[in-house]
A and B are shown apart, each in its own frame.
Chain A
Amino acid sequence: MTKQTADNPNNQMVNSYTPFPARIDDILVETEDGNLKTFRIVLENQKDISKWNHVPGQFAMLSLAGRGEIPIGIASSPTEKGRILFTVNRAGVVTKALHQMETGSRIGVRGPLGNGFPVDSDLKGKNIVIIAGGFAFTTLRATLVYMLANRDNYGKITVIYGARTPGMLLYRDELKEWAGRNDLEVHVTIDSEAPGWDGLVGFVPTIAGEVAPSPENAAALICGPPIMIKFTMPPLEKIGWTDDQVYLSLENRMKCGLGVCGHCNVGPVYVCKDGPVFTREQVQRLPVEF
């Protein structure tokens, strides 16, 4: 009874658990504490490269054979061909090992996974407000780069980004470049006065209140620590923003990234499969388990 009983389409089932082999092409230390590095990844196989297609806001599993996998938001825009960027905070077993790796090392990438920001549907034609705190700027960088590459599809774009200190800001070179553009409004802030800093000072919620972006035909994409999101909402609500206009990206412990293993559920939804991007309206209807 070892023969096949029937011809099986299952044999051809795509194995979404197996990562694509990839190489670290470049490593950039982002922050002064050295805990955040951006890894530029190049897939090794041409067929994987041609298949790869992601939406800003999606994530991928970075796979270090022998250590494990971690879900990391994709920091590059699909318009940046030939490279995939991941900005990784050193926190656990895998990220620590990744931080010790060198250019040219082999890793694995599994993805893209989850749902990104609806850049080509709901967000099209809207005024966009991007609000980010700390190292949660990564997938919003992807989104911003994508929107700038398709600038005509969006109305006014406002970026509010804050970090603890100037040295903790991500993508500093690009921030300077964006600040110089006239089709973009950029507000970069740090938590408290620092020598050599002549920009904004204050927490992200405060700055958001001061900038007071109009909710008229607009959407806000907010990523940051939960406390920042919590305090950013009241000033926005005061000027008329509603929950369905606000997009958030949730985080939870993940293992499979495919909505199967059960780790990342928030009530009935899986952050990995149904998210990580949700509207605030959706999140408000869920248990607070993230």
Chain B
Amino acid sequence: MSDTNSTITLEIRARAGELLASGEVKAFLGFAEGSIPMATRPFIARTPEQAEKLVWNSFCVINPAGFLPEVLKSVEPSRGPKDPPPEGPLPRVGVVATGCWSRNMVVQMKENQVSRDRLVILGIGSRGMVSNKKVQAMVGGRDITAIEEGEHSLTVHCDGEKTEIHRWDVIRDNCRTCTHPDPVIFDYQIGDSAGERHIEDRYVQVDKIEAMSAAQRWQWFQNEISKCIRCYACRNACPLCYCPTCFVDDSRPQWVGKSTDPVDTSIFHILRAYHCAGRCTDCGACESVCPMGIRLRILTKKLEKDVLEMYGSEAGLDLEAPLPLATYTMNDPQQFIIKG
């Protein structure tokens, strides 16, 4: 483990341990070591001893915000459906948060999914997470038996050989183009601030698609989604997806067929991404969890770009400002409107 990550790991353990010991939080949501290289496991510590299992490394790709509503509920005293809420404040939950995750928590607060006063946030300036798919590609898809993280490099063990790769070369695309690596809300800062970053080619992936013809874009889209097996890992890993009944599960009316028919799969991906418009913080969880390697983020990134260009809004930066699709101005752009 790199020095930065081991320092952060120790700080998280110490802080989470304290919070749990003092009773300030009833549970602490972070990551534990996985059972295979490049895997971490979302982990909920409920005792100071369990806090010792928490880790921080470059493979924390799941957005913990998605677990928050469930974990918050789990620490509430149990009660029947008709019982009144208990008196006094409800127990709190601790959680680690990088820039994008904290922004998701802001979105969740605006959408009344979590409340600020029930969270104790350990803010971490992110150096970016590593894409296991990119690492995999670096070694030609071979089996990786171990991986060691240095400060700026990764040593990949494969077939008894060691391959040294630059960390930045395998950073996830969303982290490469991240402009807000520091958390926007937090209670304790862990490690150093990562600072604001100015990214020239923030929308390079989107620009490339936009430059194509409609037919080429359709081809690209169809090619991407043809791999989809409809496992819904993208949806379920997304902290924005919390509808009790997702549109894909609606039966009256049924909006989307459930098999891997290309039209149904297309509609699923269009609507899934579209539902994230103005709310997505490009945390990259959807793309990271996709077992089939679909470049899902390009879809949400396009929406992010348009929301920023048209409405000057970036998701989750401001706790007070309304969500861009829950507000309007009199003179929003409307060049697309056909004049009769």
Contacts and interface: CB of A to CB of B under 8 A. Distances in A.
Chains A and B in contact, CB within 8 Å? yes
B80 to A, nearest CB: 15
A93 B249 CA distance: 13
A66 to B, nearest CB: 12
Contacts of A93: 251-252
Nearest to A92: B251
A93 B251 CA distance: 7
Nearest to A96: B252
Interface string A84-108: 0000000011000000000000000
Interface string B220-261: 000000000000000000000000000000011000000000
A112 B252 CA distance: 29
Nearest to B253: A93
Interface string B84-98: 000000000000000
B82 to A, nearest CB: 16
A123 B251 CA distance: 42
A92 B254 CA distance: 13
Contacts of B252: 93
Contacts of A92: 251
A93 B252 CA distance: 7
Interface in B252-280: 252
Interface residues of A, number: 2
B248 to A, nearest CB: 15
A173 B211 CA distance: 74
B-side interface size class: under 10
A55 B252 CA distance: 35
Nearest to A94: B251
A224 B251 CA distance: 27
Contacts of B251: 92-93
Interface in A4-33: none
B258 to A, nearest CB: 12
A194 B252 CA distance: 36
Nearest to B254: A93
Nearest to A68: B251
Nearest to B252: A93
A92 B251 CA distance: 9
Interface in B121-173: none
Interface in B55-98: none
Nearest to A93: B251
Interface in A54-110: 92-93
A261 to B, nearest CB: 14
A152 B252 CA distance: 50
A233 to B, nearest CB: 23
B257 to A, nearest CB: 13
Interface string A155-176: 0000000000000000000000
B154 to A, nearest CB: 41
A262 to B, nearest CB: 15
A71 B251 CA distance: 18
A2 B252 CA distance: 44
B232 to A, nearest CB: 18
A93 B253 CA distance: 9
A155 to B, nearest CB: 44
A57 B252 CA distance: 31
Interface in B87-127: none
B256 to A, nearest CB: 15
A92 B250 CA distance: 12
A149 to B, nearest CB: 40
A93 to B, nearest CB: 5
A81 B251 CA distance: 37
B296 to A, nearest CB: 28
A183 B207 CA distance: 84
A191 B251 CA distance: 34
A253 to B, nearest CB: 12
A245 to B, nearest CB: 34
Interface in A253-285: none
A10 to B, nearest CB: 25
Nearest to B251: A93
B255 to A, nearest CB: 14
A212 B308 CA distance: 74
A231 to B, nearest CB: 19
A92 B252 CA distance: 9
A93 B254 CA distance: 10
A247 B113 CA distance: 46
A235 B272 CA distance: 53
B308 to A, nearest CB: 41
A71 to B, nearest CB: 17
A87 to B, nearest CB: 23
3 contacts: A92-B251, A93-B251, A93-B252
Interface of B: 251-252
The 3 closest A-B pairs by CB, nearest first: A93-B251, A93-B252, A92-B251
